[in-house]
Amino acid sequence: MPFRLLKFALSKEHPEPRMFQSRDRLKSSYDAVIIGGGGHGLAAAYYLSRDYDMSNIAVIEKGYIGSGNTGRNTTIIRSNYLTPEGVKFYDESVRLWQDLSQDFDLNLFYSTRGHFTLAHTDSALRTMRWRAEVNKHFGIDSEVVSPDDIQSACPPMNLACGGHAPVLGALYHAPGSIARHDAVAWGYGRGADQRGVEIHQQTEVLGITVQSGRVTGVDTNRGHVSTPKVLCAVAGFTPRILDMVGLRSPLYIHPLQALVSEPMKPWLDPIIVSGSLHVYVSQTARGELVMGASLDPYELHSTRSTFDFAEGLAAHMLELFPFLSHVKIVRQWAGLADMTPDFAPIMGKTPIEGFYLDSGWGTWGFKATPVAGKTMAHTVACDRNHDLIQEFSLSRFKDYQLVGEKGAASVGH
């Protein structure tokens, strides 16, 4: 038993302070306002206060911290992207992830499991080689492996997939990890709070005031605050915020659903993804299988669940893992994915001075949490796009300079 746990047994009172203060009112002005108290918004606040000495900041969250996609995703972390800009960006993220538990002094259960993206067709296999080669070029541990390699990493898997779509190989990414998603928001929240950042939960932004092309303040349901800088980090709600400042974007919102099973004894070590079967799955520290599939097929700004999703995902899961027939699904849920045409995020400065975007996170936002926070903190503090996000600006669409992440649109997550 770790020594640290002794204090709980030895002290009469629970020896833990509040992680985040609750505050009665908003101040009348802040140096920056961050809209969205999810992982990204809190991470930006954390790095702003830690690295740029900016702590007169309000994080404004409509619900509670981590209530959006931070608490709704399937917690997969990887960096095996396709484009150089994507790979560099996510690689930095993985690097930050690995130290996060220690930085926070909070166990995020950051668990390196290895990540297999299965190929069922020769074209998928080709795409994986592409990704592996680009990854290796940037020093990312990523390779195409054979069915035998997959089988030995996950002996019970049925690589024949019921004869419908046999597995031909996989992209293997050893650093692929999972983490306890809620705790990420708490860790960043606590860190920011300790440095003086105000986190205002259950506070809704109603409008943003812009004067001659500059942000001047934010209207909330708890009153107006003035600020020269606003960071929008609200994922699926981005289009609504953009409406407030009169900006348009290519973002379109589709729900992304997920399922979780009853706990069972651990049998699945790696993270398994199959683009063809629309399945990704990992087993949590509690023994549950967390599963997801592809985006819902049409625009919707609601986190409702659909039964057809559960049916389809279960059917595909059983093709790969027929022995899960008796395993029960406990719960399903959904998040709102803000998709972009090239499957890369939209980050950085905008045509409105002092208004910064951290959006376009689609199905890949969780894994970017640390690096998005870090780069956006730099961007907000210096009013200059961080080097790692130069390619991700909103203006790239108008300039037909799309990022090639969609180039091989085989699989996300």
Partner 1 sequence: MNEMRLLPIPGEWIDRRQLIDFTFEGRRVTGYAGDTISSALWASGYRILGRSFKYHRPRGILSFANHDTNTLMQNGQMLNVRADVLSIRSDMALTAINSMGDVRSDRAHVLDFFSAFLPVGFYYKAFHTKKLFPFWEKVIRRMTGLGTVDPSTPHIRTAKRYDFCDVLVIGAGISGLSAALSAAQAGVDVVIVDENLHPGGSGQYQLGGEMAQAQHTANLVKSVQQHPRIRLYTETEAAGYYDDHWVPLVGRNYLSKMRAESVIVATGVYEQPAVFRNNDLPGVMLASAAQRLIYRYGVKPMNRAVVLTANSDGYRAAVDLIAQGITVVAVVDLRESYVEDQWTKKLCDRGVKIFPNHCIYEASSNPANDGVSAAIVCSLNSGNPETGFAQLISCDGILMSVGWAAAANLLYQAKTKMRFDDHVQQFVPHILPPGIFACGRVNGIFHIEQKRCDGQRAGLEAAAYLGKSDLTKIAVLPEAESPSHPFPIVAHPKGKNFVDFDEDLQLKDFYNAAQEGFDNIELLKRYTTVGMGASQGKHSNMNALRILARITNKTPEQVGTTTARPFFHPVPMSHLAGRGFTPERRTPLHSRHEALGAEFMLAGAWRRPEYYRQRGKNREDCIRLEVEAVRNGVGIIDVGTLGKLEIRGADAAEFLERVYTGRYTSMKIGTTRYALMLDETGVIVDDGVIARLSAEHFYFTTTTSGAATVYWELSRLNTMWRLDCGIVNLTGARSSINLVGSHARTVLAKLTDFELSEAAFPYLAVREMRIAGMPAIAMRVGFVGEWGYEIHVAADSALALWDALMNAGADYNIRPFGVEAQRVLRLEKGHLIVGQDTDGLTTPMEANLGWAVKLDKPFFVGQRSLQIIAKRTPKHTLVGFVLEKNFKGTPPQECHLIIDNNEIAGRVTSIAFSPTLQCYIGLAYIKPGLSEVGNSFSIRTTDGTSVMATVSKTPFYDPDNARQKKIATVRREVVV
Partner 2 sequence: MKLITCPINGTRPVSEFVYGGELRLISDPQALDDQTWAEQVFYRNGAPGIKKEWWCHVPSNTWFIAERNTATDETLNTYLYGEEDSR
Residues in region 102-161 near partner 1 by CB under 8 A: 102, 105-112, 120-123, 126-127, 129-130, 132-134, 137, 143-144, 155-156
Closest CA to 256 of 196, 315, 296, 302: 296
221 binds partner 1 (CB under 8 A): no
Residue 310 binds which of partner 2, partner 1, none (CB < 5-8 A, kind-dependent): partner 1
143 or 358: CB nearest partner 2: 358
Site for partner 1 in 38-97 (CB under 8 A): 63-67, 71, 84
Is residue 91 within 8 A of residue 85, CB to CB? The reply is no
Plot region of 330 (φ>0 → left; ψ -120 to 50 → alpha; else → beta): alpha
Residue 228 binds which of partner 1, partner 2, none (CB < 5-8 A, kind-dependent): none
- In whole angstroms, give the CA distance from residue 240 to residue 398: 21
333 binds partner 1 (CB under 8 A): yes
Q: Which of these ranges, 46-54, 222-230, 302-310, 352-360, lies near partner 1 under the rule CB under 8 A?
A: 302-310
Residue 242 binds which of partner 1, partner 2, none (CB < 5-8 A, kind-dependent): partner 2
Give Dmax over CA atoms of the chain in angstroms.
65
For the CB of residue 17, give the shortest distance to partner 2 in the complex, in Å: 39
- In whole angstroms, give the CA distance from residue 405 to residue 127: 11
The CA R_g of the chain, rounded to the nearest whole Å, is 21
Is residue 238 within 8 A of residue 251, CB to CB? The reply is yes
406 binds partner 1 (CB under 8 A): yes
Is residue 202 within 8 A of residue 63, CB to CB? The reply is yes
Site for partner 1 in 177-196 (CB under 8 A): 180, 182-183, 186
For the CB of residue 304, give the shortest distance to partner 2 in the complex, in Å: 7
Site for partner 1 in 239-298 (CB under 8 A): 261-267, 285-287
249 or 390: CB nearest partner 2: 249
362 or 373: CB nearest partner 2: 362
Question: Measured between alpha carbons, how far apart are the two ends of the chain, in Å?
Answer: 35
- Burial label for 147, CB within 10 Å (0-12, 13-18, 19+), is middle
Torsion sign, CA atoms 237, 357, 346, 72: negative
> By the criterion CB under 8 A, which residues form the site for partner 2?
238-240, 242-243, 248-253, 297-302, 304, 306-308, 341, 397-400
